[in-house]
């Protein structure tokens, strides 16, 4: 079990589908693409990071224009499950995102070496510039020095288009909460991808036990949500508390 990424420090919102990225100058917004095991977990992990504005699950590395998840899973497309991260470089650096990458999955997993043979999953950092390549490489070396097994992660140029995955694979953990999605007005793939609130909520809901309860409560106290959305979150917190109490002999 790999440790959770740092908790979200702050939220910024003036409404349920306010996009903080729209209030951030384009010069400060950058993209990063990572692949490591199943993309649902990677997306949620980066969604919790302060400075990450949006996330999207998708496919990277191949040439098929409109692949389906089924086609990618066949392992013959050259595509891998990946996550695109949109971040504000004033709040979080590319170097930091690379350092966090190693905590989201097992980068020494030998099965990743079978990519393209019998699996569509791989561990990879896709860089766009020489500076990013050097930062990713330095991050990998630092992590390798702490391990007694070889990291199999590939650091490779992003030479093909990142293709978004189907709607059911976006914000996987948030989509389990139908009432919340309805309150947020999330219906299409684009809406799930573009919503910074969905990004943060998905990250929180992927957590476990007291952590998800505490983080969701903090989210309510620091964000300006509509009454309908806030009520849905409060009801969810109460449900999570009851379930947690049952699992822990009535104590929270």
- Tens of pLDDT, residues 18-51: 444 556 678 899 999 999 988 999 999 999 999 9
- Is a pLDDT exceeding 80 seen at residue 115? no
**Average pLDDT of the segment spanning 240-245:** 90
Give the pLDDT of residue 119.
62
Residue 70, helix vs strand vs coil:
helix
Give the pLDDT of residue 124.
93
Class of domain 20-247: alpha beta
CB atoms within 10 A of CB 166: 13
**Tokens describing residue 22:** 């729209």
**Tokens describing residue 173:** 């953990």
Whole-prediction pTM value?
A: 0.86
CA distances from 21 to 54, 55, 160, 194, 241 (A): 8, 12, 24, 9, 33
Give the pLDDT of residue 40.
95
pLDDT band at 10 (very low <50, low <70, confident <90, very high): very low
Cα–Cα–Cα angle for 187, 92, 46, rounded to 5 degrees: 40
CA distance 153 to 27: 30
Average per-residue pLDDT in the chain? 87
CA distances from 3 to 9, 104, 110 (A): 17, 8, 20
């Amino acid at each position: 079990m790999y440790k959770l990424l740092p908790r979200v420090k702050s939220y910024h919102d003036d409404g349920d589908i306010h996009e903080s990225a729209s209030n951030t100058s384009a010069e400060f917004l950058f993209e990063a693409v990572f692949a490591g095991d199943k993309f649902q977990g990677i997306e949620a992990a980066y969604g919790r990071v302060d400075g990450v504005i949006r996330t999207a699950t998708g496919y990277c590395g191949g040439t098929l224009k409109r692949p389906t998840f089924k086609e990618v899973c066949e392992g013959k497309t050259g595509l891998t499950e990946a996550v695109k991260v949109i971040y504000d470089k004033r709040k979080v650096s590319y170097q930091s995102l690379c350092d966090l990458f190693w905590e989201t999955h097992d980068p020494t997993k030998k099965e990743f070496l079978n990519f393209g043979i019998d699996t569509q999953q791989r561990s990879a950092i896709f860089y766009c510039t020489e500076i990013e390549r050097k930062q990713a490489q330095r991050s990998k070396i630092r992590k390798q020095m702490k391990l007694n097994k070889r990291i199999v992660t590939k650091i490779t140029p992003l030479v093909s288009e990142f293709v978004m995955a189907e709607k059911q694979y976006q914000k996987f953990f948030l989509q389990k909460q139908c009432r919340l999605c309805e309150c947020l007005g999330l219906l299409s793939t684009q809406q799930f991808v573009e919503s910074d609130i969905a990004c943060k909520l998905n990250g929180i809901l992927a957590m476990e036990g007291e952590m998800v309860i505490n983080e969701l409560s903090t989210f309510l106290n620091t964000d300006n949500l509509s009454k309908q959305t806030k009520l849905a979150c409060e009801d969810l917190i109460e449900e999570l508390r009851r379930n947690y109490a049952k699992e822990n002999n009535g104590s929270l």
